[in-house]
Amino acid sequence: MKKIVIAIVAVVVLVGGLLIYKFQKPTLNKAYQAVKDDYSSYTMEGTLSMMDGENLREYQVHVDYTCQDETEYFLVSLSDPDLSQSQKIIRNAEGVFVVTPTLNRAFQFKSDWPYNSPKPYIYQSLLAILEGEYDSEKTEQGYQVTAPLSYEADPRVVSVEIGFDHDLAPLYVYYYDENASEIIWLEVSQFQRDVDLDLATFSIEKATQEQTETSSASVGESSLPYYPLELMGCQLAYDEKTEINGEMKHILKFEGDHHFTLVESSLSREEELEVLAMDGDVLEMASGIAFISDEGISLLENDVLCQIYSDTLTQEEMLQVATSLDGSLMK
């Protein structure tokens, strides 16, 4: 008799589990279908945390989005409260711009950003997960979704976990490595769809109006050069400081199993807004904004621009070198 009862309980549990699995995805899919094309704008705020090697970096992130006359407009602001520094990425009718208000400079790209790679703070990226293969479960607040993920800016990332409320407003996003360790995570503090946004919000002129005095934590010329922790089997063969086009640049050449060159400079604030056209694409890294082109990779972090060139390293290897730069080495 006891065996019969146990068997019945097991069957009930199994059937219940199957029913939950059967109905939770249709419920989530129904919510997705209801919102995917039913918003024309949104704002999002939160805290973005990123593991940069063994160091944790935290940014306050603010996102504005609107679509008007079939043109999409994005503004992403990443600010570091400790350094009183911020960088903004804007997409408007004129193109894609990386703006550093403290420098009064903007870098313009011909790019598909933000659709060139997944981004935890872009709502469209989160909804796109629901168009592929994923697992989900209901939670008290709404839904938890997990899915495989390929993330160009950090090859360690292999999966994503997203928390949505019942109306598919994002609550949190976690990017994990193969050991289920958190690499990047976003805690959303505010999200609202269908808000009124003026197109002036997405102008680079307005973005640079939010000027902040350079803080004492700003790098400056005296702190350069930075040296990479990741050497790719190379050693420093050349280290010189020279003036090019009125700017002091540090040129470091490395030779060995491969060879590559680093060019580093501390950027000063321009009196008038300067817009520089750049080739390639944009990637948001833990240590700054990376510009990727066929010629090489540039990394902009606050007021320092680091450029790496090599004909023996892959783009991924150059990214590893660029993101391992450390100002405390070999001084």
Q: Which of 187, 209, 231 is the last residue of a domain?
A: 209
> Is residue 261 located within the same domain as residue 309?
yes
Cis ω for the linkage preceding 114 (within 30 of 0): yes
- The Cα–Cα gap between 110 and 278 comes to 8
Which CATH number does the domain housing residue 191 bear? 2.50.20.10
- CA dist., res. 144 & res. 160, Å (int): 10
Question: For 123-151, what is the mean pLDDT?
Answer: 96
Please tell me the distance from the alpha carbon of residue 117 to that of residue 283, in angstroms, as a whole number. Answer: 8
**Quick check: 66 pLDDT over 50?**
yes
- Which conformational region is residue 140 in: left (phi greater than 0), alpha (psi within -120 to 50 degrees), or beta? alpha
Quote the number of domains for the chain: 2
285 shares a domain with 156: no
Q: What are residue 186's phi and psi, to 5 degrees?
A: -125, 125
140 with 281, same domain: the answer is no
For residue 294, being part of any structural domain is answered with yes
Claim to verify: residue 167 and residue 310 sit in the same structural domain = no
Q: What domain range includes position 109?
A: 41-209
User: What is residue 294's predicted lDDT score, i.e. its pLDDT?
Assistant: 86
Give the model confidence (pLDDT) of 178-214 as tens digits. 999 999 999 999 999 999 999 999 999 998 886 544 4
Whole-number pLDDT of residue 223: 79
- CA–CA dist 233, 276 (Å, integer): 34
DSSP state of 267: P
**Strand arrangement of the beta sheet that strand 135-138 belongs to:** 135-138, 142-148, 159-165, 170-176, 182-193, 41-52, 55-68, 71-80, 85-92, 95-100, 105-109, 274-277
Asked if residue 292 is part of any domain, the answer here is: yes
- Tell me, yes or no, whether 197 and 237 share the same domain: no
142 part of a folded domain: yes
pLDDT of res. 25: 63
* Residue 12 located in a structural domain: no
| Mean residue pLDDT across the chain | 86
How many Å apart are CA 105 and CA 276, to the nearest integer? 8
Residues 67 and 127 in one domain: yes
Same domain assignment for residues 171 and 226 = no
How high is the pLDDT of residue 213? Answer: 44
- If asked whether residues 197 and 230 sit together in one domain, one would say no
Q: What distance in Å separates the CA atoms of residue 98 and residue 227, rounded to the nearest whole number?
A: 25
Within-domain flag for 13: no
pLDDT at 4: 53
Please give the pLDDT value at position 82. Answer: 76
318 with 229, same domain: the answer is yes
pTM (2 decimals)?
A: 0.84
Is there a single domain that holds both residue 90 and residue 201? Answer: yes
Average pLDDT, integer, range 160-184: 97
Mean pLDDT along residues 82-110 = 89
Answer yes or no: is pLDDT of 122 > 80: yes
Residues 173 and 268 grouped into a single domain:
no
Last residue of a domain, one of 153, 175, 209: 209
Instruction: Identify whether residues 165 and 244 lie together within a single domain.
Output: no
In this structure, what CATH number is given to the domain that contains residue 306? Answer: 3.30.200.100
Is 17 inside any structural domain? no
Residue 295 pLDDT: 85
Of 179, 209, 239, the last residue of a domain is 209
Q: pLDDT, tens digit, for every residue of 243-302?
A: 988 889 999 999 999 999 999 999 888 888 989 888 888 988 877 889 998 889 999 887
